[in-house]
């Protein structure tokens, strides 16, 4: 070897748009130095479906079903936020029974979403049997959803001014049976995720987002609560019947007395939220059985409702806490059948920019678990392209997942 200095250059790795760890198409470009990430860049727009443009050409009832298909997991929050915005413009008052019913469905969706996420996180770390165990618990929650609304995922239970189906006395025993099942299995899941040494080794100290960065980048949802910021639309600006119920912000120091903002903290926050949701459903069902039978929607005749909505004018905002964060819809109506303007902001769009500080300094094998820990909601992918000194090599889905699993096996020895 001569005494000339060798120059070290970093090489750029584009990951995406189709990628293993994210169940959504997003394009990253990483600048690597060996196995450590030095810088990251994010590109979006691969599943742009012109939903807002389509919505401006339909009447409000049709927009409810269009909004439901923006996302499969937050398929309850988008039509509900739209309905909240339109109700605030039109001045429609929602009956009390409908407010409690809306809470039950929102919390049920939160349980389904967080258990799905827990299974995906376990799969990325390498424990496939935990994936199937978690999804078995989720099946019971989905069965309850099918019983209450008619379908497992696209619930179609929103109506402007209330809900479409009631919870009668005959349905209550099935709800109680499912809630008991979930409570019993929750303790088992908590022990597996939080007390297992491998999960701890793999996720502690990894993908850290500090409190200052979380505030500046306006992160939302469990991602920001795990960094210590107390932000939750259900408590800050209560909607539906959340103002009446008894619950508090979920931050990691409830369980471990310290806040690090890493992947382990995010697991803690999501599992504790599942417990909180089960508790909220119990409180609501108790209130519902105590209330007399009443209306579930402000205006039952839909033709009359459409005529009423044709005459309103103004602008309104609807905000809700989806499982992933804050959903906000802005609607402007001007006395026509179609809205003049409609803007949707799904929570992941605020959680994308925090990926950049989270991924700096991490290894390539940690990309799946860190990206999956923020629970992105865009769509699915499968390839990674690596450019190394001008030679291209393509890592497939299996390869990147294999890298992540191999790191786990190394840590276990």
Looking at the Cβ atoms of 69 and 183, the one nearer to another protein is 69
How many other C-beta atoms are found inside a 10 Å radius of the C-beta of residue 314? 13
136 binds another protein (CB under 8 A): yes
Contact with another protein (CB under 8 A) among 153, 172, 255, 306: 306
> How far apart, in whole angstroms, are the C-alpha atoms of residue 316 and residue 84?
8
28 binds another protein (CB under 8 A): no
Looking at the Cβ atoms of 240 and 264, the one nearer to another protein is 240
By CB under 8 A, which span of 132-140, 260-268, 358-366, 375-383 interacts with another protein?
132-140
CB of 4 to another protein, least distance (A): 38
> How far apart, in whole angstroms, are the C-alpha atoms of residue 123 and residue 290?
43
269 binds another protein (CB under 8 A): no
In 204-315, which ranges are continuous DSSP H helix?
A: 211-216, 222-225, 233-236, 253-256, 263-290, 302-309
Looking at the Cβ atoms of 327 and 400, the one nearer to another protein is 327
3-state percent breakdown (helix, strand, coil) of the chain, nearest 5: 50, 15, 35
> How far apart, in whole angstroms, are the C-alpha atoms of residue 11 and residue 34?
9
Contact with another protein (CB under 8 A) among 29, 52, 279, 282: 52
Contact with another protein (CB under 8 A) among 35, 93, 286, 398: 93
Q: Which residues pair with 41 in a beta bridge?
A: 29
- Residues 56 to 75: which contact another protein by CB under 8 A? 58-59, 61-62, 64-66, 69
- Residues 351 to 380: which contact another protein by CB under 8 A? 352-353
Q: Which helix (H) or strand (E) holds 36?
A: strand 36-43
231 binds another protein (CB under 8 A): yes
Looking at the Cβ atoms of 254 and 302, the one nearer to another protein is 302
> Strand 162-163 vs strand 325-334: parallel, antiparallel, or unpaired?
unpaired
> How far apart, in whole angstroms, are the C-alpha atoms of residue 243 and residue 229?
20
CB of 393 to another protein, least distance (A): 25
191 binds another protein (CB under 8 A): yes
175 binds another protein (CB under 8 A): no
168 binds another protein (CB under 8 A): no
> How far apart, in whole angstroms, are the C-alpha atoms of residue 344 and residue 253?
33
CB of 45 to another protein, least distance (A): 4
Looking at the Cβ atoms of 172 and 397, the one nearer to another protein is 172
Cis peptide before 17 (omega within 30 of 0): yes
């Amino acid at each position: 070897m001569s005494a000339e200095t060798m120059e070290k250059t970093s090489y750029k790795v584009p990951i995406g748009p189709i990628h293993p760890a994210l169940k959504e198409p997003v394009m990253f470009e990483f600048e690597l130095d060996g196995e450590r990430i030095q810088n990251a860049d994010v590109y979006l727009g691969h599943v742009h479906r012109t939903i807002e443009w389509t919505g401006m050409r339909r009447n409000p009832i049709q927009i409810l079903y269009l909004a439901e298909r923006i996302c499969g997991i937050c398929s309850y929050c988008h039509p509900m936020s739209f309905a909240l915005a339109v109700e605030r413009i039109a001045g429609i008052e929602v009956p009390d029974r409908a407010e409690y019913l809306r809470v039950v469905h929102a919390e049920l969706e939160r349980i389904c979403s967080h258990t799905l996420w827990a299974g995906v996180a376990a799969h990325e770390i390498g424990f496939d049997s935990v994936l199937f165990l978690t999804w078995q618990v989720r099946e019971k929650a989905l069965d309850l959803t099918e019983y209450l609304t008619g379908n497992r995922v696209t619930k179609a239970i929103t109506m402007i001014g209330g809900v479409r189906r009631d919870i009668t006395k005959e349905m209550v025993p099935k709800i109680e049976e499912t809630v008991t099942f979930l409570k019993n299995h929750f303790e088992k899941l908590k022990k597996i995720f939080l007390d297992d040494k491998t999960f701890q080794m793999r996720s502690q100290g990894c993908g850290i987002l500090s409190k200052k960065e979380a505030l500046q980048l306006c992160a939302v949802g469990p991602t920001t609560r795990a960094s210590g910021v107390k932000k939750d639309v259900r408590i800050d600006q209560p909607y539906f019947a959340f103002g009446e119920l008894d619950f508090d912000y979920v931050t990691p120091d409830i369980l471990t007395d310290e806040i690090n903002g890493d992947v382990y903290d995010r697991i803690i926050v999501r599992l504790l939220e599942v417990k909180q949701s089960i508790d909220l459903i119990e409180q609501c069902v108790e209130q519902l059985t105590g209330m007399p039978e009443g209306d579930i929607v402000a205006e039952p005749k839909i033709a009359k409702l459409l005529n009423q909505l044709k005459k309103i004018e103004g602008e309104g905002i609807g905000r809700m806490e989806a499982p992933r964060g804050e959903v906000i819809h802005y609607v402007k109506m001007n006395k026509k059948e179609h809205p003049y303007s409609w803007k949707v902001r799904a929570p992941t769009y605020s959680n994308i920019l925090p990926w950049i500080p989270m991924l700096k300094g991490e290894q390539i094998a940690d990309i799946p678990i860190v990206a999956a820990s923020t629970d992105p909601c865009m769509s699915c992918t499968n390839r990674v392209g690596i450019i190394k000194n001008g030679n291209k090599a393509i890592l497939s889905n299996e390869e990147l997942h294999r890298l992540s699993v191999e790191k786990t096996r190394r840590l276990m020895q």
